[in-house]
Amino acid sequence: MVPYKDMDDDAVFRALADASRRQMLDRLHARNGQTLGELCQGLAMTRQAVAKHVAILEEANLVSSERQGREKLHFINPVPINAIAQRWISKFERQHLNALADLKETLEGKGRN
């Protein structure tokens, strides 16, 4: 509803704070549309614990899901991560920004030669 505010950031940052949840995002990134059962594999915890993590990822809008028959498919949503990277992290990222600026300047300089 409300456009991106700091509260949304908070949910995303907190969702990303747990290594198991980051691993789930990794695995969804490797193969999108996995079921809850598939996400459970390789994680040393019960299915219910995984379901809770997934719920937190969904609340942060990092994962969306779709019920298909008796299965629930999960899809990663890169938008909130993008938003954080662009609006928050890039503030602290002088090196990257400067490197990009330098690259642009260098190449534009070449263009004018």
Name the residues that contact DNA, by CB under 7 A: 14, 17-18, 20, 35-37, 44-49, 51-53, 56, 67, 69-72
Report the amino acid identity of residue 94.
R
Around Cβ 22, how many Cβ atoms within 10 Å?
13
Report the amino acid identity of residue 113.
N
Which residue stretch of 12-20, 31-39, 46-54, 63-71 sits at the interface with a copy of itself (rule: CB under 8 A)? 12-20
Q: How far apart are CA 19 and CA 14, in angstroms?
A: 11
Nearer to DNA, 36 or 83 (CB): 36
Provide the token pair at 103: 């690259």
In the chain, what is the greatest distance between 2 CA atoms, to the nearest angstrom?
Answer: 64
Name the site residues for a copy of itself (rule: CB under 8 A).
Answer: 6, 9-10, 13-14, 16-17, 19, 22, 25-26, 29, 76, 78, 81-82, 84-86, 88-96, 100, 103-104, 107-108, 110-111, 113
